[in-house]
Structure 1
Amino acid sequence: NGRNVPNYVQSEGHARFRVNFKPKEAAVHTLSVKFNGEPVPGSPFKCRVSDSSQVVISGAGLKMSSLARTAVFTIDPRSAEVTDCIVQVTSPSGSRIPVKITGELPNKVTAEFQPSEVGPHTINVLMDGESVGGSPFTCNIYDVTKVQVTGLDHTKVNRPVTFTVDASQAGEGTLELVVTTAKASVRAEVAARSRGLYDVTFTPHEPIPHFVNITFNEEDVLGSPMILDVGESGLATVKGSGLDGGAVDTPLSFSVDGRGLLGEPHVTVDGPDSVARVSVRKQEEGLYQVTYVPHEVGLFDIRVQWNKRDVAGSPFHPKIVNPARVRLIGGWSSLQDSEGRLELTPREEKRLAFDVSEAGPGKLRSEVTYEGRNIDCNIDQNGSRSRLVFTPPGEGSYEIRLWYADLPLPDMPVFGWAEPASTGDHTRVTLQGHGLTTARCGDQSEFIIDGSAAGPGAPDVTMSGTKADISISLSHQGGGIWRAIYTPMVPGAYLLNVMWSDRQVRGCPLKVNVERVADASRVICSGEGLRHGMVGNDIKSFIDTRRAGPGELTVTCSGPTKVALCDLDDHSDGTFTLNIRPQESGRHALNVKYEGDHVPGSPYTLKVAGAPDPSKVRVYGPGIEHGVLASYQSRFICDTRGAGAGQLTVRIRGPKGAFRVEMQRESQKDRTILCKYDPTEPGDYRMEVKWSGEHVPGSPFVVMIFDTQDELNRYMAGGYSPSGMGRAPSEYYGSIGYGTTYGAVSFGQMSWRGSQAQLAHDHSYSTPRQVKAMAKVRRRSRNMFEPMCCKAPIGLPTGYLSPRPWSPGSRPRVFTSAPNLSSSKKRLSPWHLTPTKGSVYFDVRLDQLS
């Protein structure tokens, strides 16, 4: 600000001088130095003055931190004009610990360091060469995993329990302990035996589980909360390491203490898929040693009973593991040098991935030592995969020890050697194989990682999806070439990431589509073409495979002697139209398969009818012959048997409003149709009967109906027409058409109506050729009538007997035995009718052979 700052000059002899001044504010000062009135070279000089008392140091890592975590704190220069910041961290053993500083001055920066031992660490912060206010700081490093709890065994009600908590090796901190049950807290007394060593005593008063919760610096110690099973007084107690777990194929034991009680123990040990053999040995009266050998990994059930009562804590659930089944993905040999040492690089993070899927229920634990002291290492376990991560701090020899469920892995320790090495070029790693893009559920897929041109290194492969992750097995093929194998079980999109020496390979991550396995049971087939069809016509049906996953659809159709032509029209959306062209009539076997498996309903039975043949349709009956209106019987029969599949159409033209056409059949499968049109006026009637659009023999039929018998006789003799003849059809004639289909489509509901008839219980009828037939009906009650018999000459195989006037219950009865139809074994059902004037009239008609 232009003000002078007081200073003084001290002579040090030999033409050397010391200049002293005391700045009053943090700012840039200008130093003008002259000798004999002349500025010395470089004068004036600039001197930046900062105020370190304004610097604020904060963060949890400045006072206390766990050995398992990185200690972090921040440095905020505030308004101080500083250009340099140095942080020095010294461990209890006197070694310097590397510190990583992120950020740029004069803004706020972050300092972090990874402690390697328990105890107070000294942190010295210098800004522009001067210690900030409060520096040096002391950070207490603790290790909660070093807290040990011993002597906590099963007990009984009202029996004091004493156990020991040893935190002497865990560093400085606060130890907290609480004993509870599901109902309330339990009073516990803590007695200090020495620094960090405590005895804890409490007395359970209920035969229920007790929970011991222990924290150190607000972090749960290993195993907390610990469960203590408390049994009833008078019951045996059980204790021993064999209740917690152990290694497969290794004898495990525990003791049953029933001293002072009558009886003896009964013990069973069940594994996931086996029963372990148990040996119970009596050590003294009431005290027994139980030994069992598990032969598989998994969670076991140990049931201990005394006098047929479960002891406290029974059943127990020990975890049986097999440390030998913990497998380094890729194998140790692929990562070792010629001397069998793990290749490491100083200050470069090392990752080792392990597959623990076959090792049983447990967790991986590790310890890495360098020059006789432990270095930081972390285990990340995700499902069946665990990853050991550590960073070698320098060159030299290392030892790696691994435990699974606190049991050492075989061939431990593994030795490593760190030295500067040329880093492999990850950009020269190539990937190839179908497993890089697509895969199918349940099928093994693979791809090749070629690092032969990349130099030293090894791959690390992960495959993650939204619903699940996929485990990948790596095998070294030699020469830097690796084979990756995986078997997906859940469909969806996955990201495949390949790392080479902790560097991502070019092109990764890759998207891999895992397709669903084809499921034939989810294919849907629909359409009439699955049931019946006709020779000469395409038989169509629809097939939907959208829910069945990708797969191959195949269709075959075989007839009695010939194979039908099948054509699939792909709509490109998972749906298909199936067209079948049968070469013959008869039953066909239609096979629809998806990926070689039959779809639901396949093989289908396809009934194929012959082509329609109108010449085989017969039309007969009084309704197609001339007659007198008063006594006219308008019924006639259309017999389509033998005519193949087709549609029957009946169309009648006559005086307008003078008739009503109705059609009826006995059953859905009946090929014989009874038609009736009940004329009410005389005149000429024209009946067209067509089968699949073509006239049947005799069609169209022309029928003349007269008022009197004389008119009919004269017409038959020639020269007479019924009244109304000659008038324009548009004025006096109308037409009604009915249709029904055989063979391809189901019938609709139809009905018929009778006309007024003459009296007679026994009624005879003569056909135009004077063939006589007689039918008899017995009246069983007022409203019930039973057909008895119908006699006719040989050669007339079918007879029809029906009551009139017509009512809903008066459908005709069909006789199928001739000449004496009463001899039929088929009993005909009776009619339930409402008689008119106490009488019921019946019609009998017989088929005529041509």
Structure 2
Amino acid sequence: MRKVTANGNGLKLVPVKRPVLFTITAPGFDQDDIGIVVTAPSSREIPFRMDTIKAGHYEVEYITPEVGEHLIEVKALGKAIAGNPFHSLAYDSSKIKVGAIPNGVVANAVQFQIDCSEAGSGNLEILVNSGRVNSEVKNLGNHHFLASFVPQTVSLHTIEMKFNGEHVLGSPFKCQIFASHLPINSLSKKGLLKVQSLESFPVGQTHSFDISAPAVKKEDIVVSIVGPSKTTVQNRILDLQNDVFRVYFSVSIVGTYMFEINVNGQPLMTSAFSAKAYDISRISVSETPKNCLIGHKFEFQVDASQAGEGQLEIAVNDGEVPNQVQVLGNGKCLVNFTPESLIPHIVDIKFNGENVPGCPFVCEISDATQFNVDVSHIELIPVGMPARFSITSSAPIQNQSIRTTITSPTGKQIAVNIEYIEGCVCEFIPLEVGPHIISIEHCNRLVSSSPLVVKSYDAKKVLVTPVSSGSIGKPIQFIVDASNSGEGNLEIAVNAKGENIITQVHPMGGAKFGVSFVANENSDHIVSITFNGQPVSGSPFVVHINPEMNKVSVSGTALHFAPVDKPAILAVHNVLSENDLFPKITGPTGQSVPMTLQRDVDSGVTNIEFLPAIPGEYLIQLKHKGVPIPGSPFSSKIYDIKRIRVKEIPREIVSGKAVTFIVEASNAGPGNLEVIVNNGKVPSTPKALGSSLYAITFVPKDTEDHNIDIKFNGEAVPGSPFTCSVLDASKVTINRDGLEKVAVLTTAKFSIETNGTSLSENNVLILGPTHKTLRAVLNGDPQNGYQIEFTPTEVGDHAIDVKVGGSSVPNCPFLVKAYDSKNVRISEITSGTVGKPIYFSIDASAAGAGNLEIIVSANGRNVPNYVQSEGNAKFRVNFKPTEPNTHVLSVKFNGEPVPGSPYLVKVVDSTQSIISGHTLRMASLGKGVEFSVENRNDESSECKVVVT
């Protein structure tokens, strides 16, 4: 692989958190032939991007967040190229810490310390007055240095400091050089004259600091305080006796103030200091959430741009809930946290140790998956009438946390009145016919069942063509138009003398229907029409029947719907002899149909009887004494109930979920189809799919068995009534105890109570963070409940959904967080010295969600430790040992020891020598090993090193 080469700055010294590049020259190789792996010091792989510059030339870009040595492997067709692996050194100039730089005196060395222990490898460059003043740097060991220079002139000296060519934080620094040490300064240097310096203070309050000056009078002390606009701040000095003087002052403007003390006209160079004034009242916290949802991120902004400099501290539930801070610049930051438990979350924000206005504030936590919205009783509602529905939850619903939006069919917003009574009750009045969309938000997030659809109707908009009279034996017809009244059930009934009269309903399309009936009685017929149980305008209607004496008339079953294979009868009235009648019956295929005539002497009625064999329309031509009877030929509609086909009625259905089945009557002949669910208590909706093909839909409301009666021309179809057992997903409860966090590769369990409903493994779906399906093992039975077991193999959120009849049960789907304590990495643990902080880092970014427990102890006593979040589950920890003993460092994640825990940290006193270096724990074969020996007592002695 000699012809494949890699070069560029990205293979050498690179800054962290910034894009770096290197190029690969590989003539004859495609981009897919090149393999690259960038490994950080923590052993994790760093993502990269590779682009084709031109054929055989590629550019690689990556960004590393870690300081230290990175290994970069480059392969072509799986073979390593020359120089592989490459070593790049990542540095972070912002991690350089510069100690206090004191003012100085001409010809006297000015010294200050520099801490580069966290910055990585690189070149430290120090220029005093642009290089005109020589400077020296002494290595103190463990990446700590002592810088010094000797000033030769009285002036303000500028100290520039760069690391790998980049300015370190705070550079350039300033140092005031004075002419000489005056007697007062000599007194100060000996520690007899002391000034209590300040670091920061709030505006609008009186502050003070003390000056300890032996053998000095109050009149000899002059204090100068200069503000950010070069204005002088008035101050007052009070003699507290015993050579102590207290200086009082007050400021009103934020910024940096310079303090200088003069005694007997001589400035105290070593006692001059600066302090920063801040105004906590000018910190604003906007968009604070009052109600939050568990598992969802919530954000708010903190604006400290007008408050001055200071330390901003943000804690949620005393630091138990992690929060992330995104710096927006100009003193503003965006804070977010994700609640993981159903307890109030207290957000405390402090600036320089003081609570900012409005803090702490409380966020109530709710679970959106626990909401139940009951609209079952308002799925069909009349316009102009109030409609109410309730929202309930297993947890209390906070006032003003629910927002309900209802949109009409024309897109208008409908006013909603919300009352918080035992949950939440919403009331509205629909003003239009059609579907209304209900959207429900809790804490600005849609609840799981939202949006919902309810339909409104208006029975007053059903139009009926008028009919006032008719005659015996003749069809009486009228039209019902429900096209503008919305969705619903239309019921038509005709009654005469307390008996129901058979009606025929013919769909005309567009929600219009033609209705006809034949009167057999010489009495008024009452027509009652209701829509969704409400009478339409004008109902009931009265149809007067006109008597036709001495005129030949007909009646009988043959004038209506009649079944095959049963005699169809046509009764002829007012005929003296059957010999005067001349009937002829033609079948649907044009064939002549045989018949019989029989006269009833008592009633004077002559009956024409025939036996239809196939469904269809039969024509009955009838003449009396050679003259056609009015209405002839008569139509007789014959049907075959056995040819009705009912398909797709499930034996098990789910309460609240729509059920649709198909009824096919295309070969059954003419007639009226009637579907009744639970004796009409459950509405059903038909939809025509074609000629004599219908889709019937209904929604079960309760858990009792639902009986579906299907009739054709008033006769039950084969198999009717059909019975469906109802499953109630709302009665299934899940016990998630112990599922908040589970370890990978261990069996997790939860239980389900179904109250008699059967489950199988197909009812349970478990998806890992990469959408990989996990196998659920189910044990139990419907009466005693089930236990579900699964084993997570990946770190992250696992979604679990349990469905009954295709619908998720309450509180599903829900999330289970899987973690792996073995993925917690601890680095930079070194030996230390009594009285000096020992730092180390913890990286839990790949371990998942969990609680980190850090305990430092010595001789059985706990040592306080301090944890600083660096974001993305990374932490910087330090503790300050007070005794020269081995300290035990215990780190646990979700109660499990992390790899390597407990750690032993050697602590010596300040007079002992310290040996340090990462190669003392692990080293590579064939490479040099470097470590440092620091002699604390500054004695010159021979250092012997023995390696065995």
The interval holding the TM-score normalised by the smaller chain is 0.3 to 0.5
Q: TM-score, normalised by structure 2?
A: 0.32
Bigger-Rg structure (1/2): 1
